[in-house]
């Protein structure tokens, strides 16, 4: 991931990026670039998941959702504990 530095030039702001980033992406002075909102990808993934749920409906194979959740949590706890216990 490339990190940029925000600078102020007069009444405007600029993002300074490393020269290598500019060279690798074949950018030159005056080029327009898109700056994506940090949460855009997460929102897109969430919307895709919601749309998938709307299209396919709820998971019908789970007869008792509360018991299923408890089982998932206990499995995650066991996995976390085994990772903590592993000295590697």
pLDDT tens column, 6-64: 999 899 999 899 999 899 999 999 898 887 776 877 888 888 887 877 777 666 667 78
| Residue 23 near residue 31, CB atoms below 8 Å | no
Give Cα separations from 8 to 11, 13, 35 (angstroms): 7, 4, 17
Selected residue with higher pLDDT from 86 and 49: 49
Q: Where are the domains of the chain?
A: 5-85
Residue-level pLDDT at 87: 63
| Residue 1 near residue 9, CB atoms below 8 Å | no
Burial of residue 16 (CB within 10 Å: 0-12, 13-18, 19+) is exposed
Residue-level pLDDT at 19: 92
Residue-level pLDDT at 60: 64
Mean pLDDT within 65-81: 81
């Amino acid at each position: 991931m490339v990190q940029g530095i925000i600078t102020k030039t007069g009444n405007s702001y600029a993002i300074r990026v490393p020269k290598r980033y500019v060279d690798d992406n074949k950018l030159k002075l005056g080029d327009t670039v898109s700056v994506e909102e940090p949460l855009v990808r997460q929102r897109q993934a969430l919307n895709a998941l919601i749309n998938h749920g709307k299209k396919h409906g709820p998971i019908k194979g789970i007869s008792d959702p509360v018991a299923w959740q408890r089982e998932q949590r206990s499995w995650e706890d066991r996995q976390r504990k085994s990772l903590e216990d592993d000295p590697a």
